[in-house]
């Protein structure tokens, strides 16, 4: 058995494909909008989807000549039609609003686009999606190589270009695999990348605006040369993927495609672990995930502001149940701390500092006063933080489900 056997569990069978095709036909037959065509988009349209996936993109393509000047009306036209055919239609906001329908355990996202032939005709970024599908479909022999790339990114927690993740989009991984010709060649190339990397013609890179050049990887879109496919990628996720690629090249194995779960006992060797279970808010994944990230960052900041030594922290988002943990030095803090004021030679400011705090002392040239800490141990602080607006408005529920101390 080799590492490629990971595909055995993730390549859809003929029966899977036929069952999905039947469901898609059921939905598409109900989408009746004049002067449109319905096609399968996303990974389903490219045949790069993974077994077990229950999300399907459908593009409703509006005739270009008739609707090119009505781009802002496409969502309303489509919505009106969908409401007549489906019992429940969920509206989602994007650069152009789109819609969600749940049927037989699958979530269908129905996206209105203009039927364009090249990127210059696009009136909205959504219009370009069909060009991405057409590009990837030119390489049918690489679909399993692309699946390997997606599984590797998922396992290394670098998959997803949403604002709360800032990893590789599915399309970025598709383009990169096609660029190098196989998953293994792609990973070997990544293992040699420096702190940043550029893929594309120099003239196209030069024409990118500054905001599109900020990511560590510049990957020129093969169907839209003024776009960096990896613009959302953060330095953290880039470095994480590169590090994982180096390890894989040295020791390729099936384990490289398995996402590692939080090992609380291992984390407890560093310090006291507080493990949280969360229920996210309802809504669009990108927005809900971003709110949860804000909640996580708020807790991180507050722990530091209260002088607790944060040794490690992380979080994982899922629509049903999410998790986060914080590893801290469990040693209680002193009851008081030094609050520093102006230096000795700042006479006027020093006078005001003394008037405010009465008792002051000096540490070299620095003045200070001793103040009482609000919290000397972690449990009461977490109890207060979880009740605050910054948490309550960003998650539906949150609770500490495990506390493990190395002592």
The domains located in the chain, with CATH, are: 10-136 (3.30.460.10), 140-257 (1.10.1410.30), 264-332+375-404 (3.30.70.590), 336-372 (no CATH)
Sign of CA dihedral 374, 378, 384, 390: positive
Give residue 137's pLDDT.
Answer: 97
The whole-number average pLDDT for the span 28-41 is 96
Looking at the chain, the whole-number percentage of residues with pLDDT higher than 90 is 91
What is the token pair recorded at 222?
A: 């093969």
pLDDT at 329 over 80: yes
pLDDT at 1: 72
pLDDT on residue 342: 94
State yes or no: pLDDT of 407 exceeds 70: no
Distance CA 341, CA 349 (A): 8
Structure tokens at 134: 């057409």
pLDDT, average across residues 222-236? 96
State the average pLDDT for the chain. 95
Tell me what the mean pLDDT of segment 305-315 comes to. 95
By residue count, the chain amounts to 407
Spatial contact of 36 and 62, defined as CB atoms under 8 Å apart = yes
Q: Tell me which of 147-161, 215-229, 234-248, 257-271 is least confident.
A: 257-271
């Amino acid at each position: 058995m080799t590492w490629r056997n990971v595909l055995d569990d993730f390549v859809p069978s003929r029966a899977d494909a036929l069952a999905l095709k039947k469901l898609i036909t059921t939905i598409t037959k109900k989408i009746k909008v004049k002067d449109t065509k319905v096609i399968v988009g996303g990974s389903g349209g490219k045949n790069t989807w993974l077994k077990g996936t229950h999300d399907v993109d459908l593009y409703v393509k509006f005739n270009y000549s008739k609707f090119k000047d009505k781009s802002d009306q496409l969502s309303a036209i489509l919505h009106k039609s969908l409401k007549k055919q489906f019992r429940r239609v969920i509206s989602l906001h994007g650069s152009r609003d789109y819609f969600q329908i749940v049927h037989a355990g699958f979530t269908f996202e129905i996206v209105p686009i203009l039927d364009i032939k090249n990127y210059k005709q696009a009136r909205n970024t959504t219009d370009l999606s069909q060009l991405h599908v057409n590009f990837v479909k030119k390489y049918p022999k690489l679909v399993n190589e692309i699946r390997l790339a997606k599984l590797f990114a998922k396992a290394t927690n670098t998959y997803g270009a949403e604002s709360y993740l800032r990893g590789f989009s599915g399309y970025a991984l598709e383009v990169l695999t096609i660029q190098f010709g196989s998953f293994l060649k792609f990973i070997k190339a990544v293992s040699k990348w420096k702190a940043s990397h550029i893929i594309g013609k120099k003239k196209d890179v030069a024409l990118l605006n500054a905001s599109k050049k900020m990511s560590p990887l510049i990957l020129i879109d093969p169907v839209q040369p003024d776009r960096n496919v990896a613009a959302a990628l953060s330095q953290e996720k880039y470095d994480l993927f590169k590090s994982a690629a180096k390890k894989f090249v040295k020791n390729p194995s099936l384990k490289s495609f398995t996402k590692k779960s939080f090992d609380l006992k291992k984390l407890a060797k560093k310090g006291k672990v507080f493990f949280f279970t969360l229920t996210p808010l309802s809504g669009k994944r990108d927005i809900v995930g971003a709110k949860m990230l804000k909640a996580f960052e708020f807790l991180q900041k507050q722990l530091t502001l209260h002088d607790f030594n944060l040794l490690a922290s992380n979080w994982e988002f899922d629509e049903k149940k999410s998790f986060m943990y914080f590893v801290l030095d469990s040693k209680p803090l002193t009851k008081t701390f030094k609050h520093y004021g102006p230096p000795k030679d700042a006479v006027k400011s020093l006078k005001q500092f003394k008037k405010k705090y009465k008792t002051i002392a000096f540490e070299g040239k620095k003045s200070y006063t001793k103040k009482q800490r609000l919290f000397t141990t972690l449990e009461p602080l977490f109890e207060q933080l979880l009740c605050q607006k910054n948490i309550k408005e960003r998650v539906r529920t949150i609770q500490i489900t495990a506390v493990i101390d190395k002592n």
